[in-house]
Chain A
Amino acid sequence: DAGITQSPRHKVTETGTPVTLRCHQTENHRYMYWYRQDPGHGLRLIHYSYGVKDTDKGEVSDGYSVSRSKTEDFLLTLESATSSQTSVYFCAISDRLAGGYNEQFFGPGTRLTVL
Chain B
Amino acid sequence: GEDVEQSLFLSVREGDSSVINCTYTDSSSTYLYWYKQEPGAGLQLLTYIFSNMDMKQDQRLTVLLNKKDKHLSLRIADTQTGDSAIYFCAESVKSGYALNFGKGTSLLVTP
Contacts and interface: CB of A to CB of B under 8 A. Distances in A.
Interface stretch (B57-65, B69-77, B95-103): B95-103
Contact of B101 (A43, A50, A101): A43
B62 to A, nearest CB: 20
A103 B42 CA distance: 14
Interface string B25-51: 000001101000000111111001000
Contacts of A74: none
9 contacts: A41-B103, A42-B103, A43-B104, A58-B98, A92-B42, A101-B48, A102-B97, A104-B99, A105-B45
A50 B97 CA distance: 8
Nearest to B28: A100
Contacts, number: 58
A25 to B, nearest CB: 13
Interface of A: 31, 33, 35, 40-45, 48, 50, 56, 58-59, 90, 92, 96, 99-109
Contacts of B97: 31, 48, 50, 56, 96, 102
B21 interface: no
A61 B97 CA distance: 16
A103 B31 CA distance: 10
A41 B31 CA distance: 22
B98 A33 contact: yes
Contact of A109 (B1, B42, B96): B42
B42 A90 contact: yes
A43 B98 contact: no
B103 A106 contact: no
Contacts of A45: 98
B92 A102 contact: yes
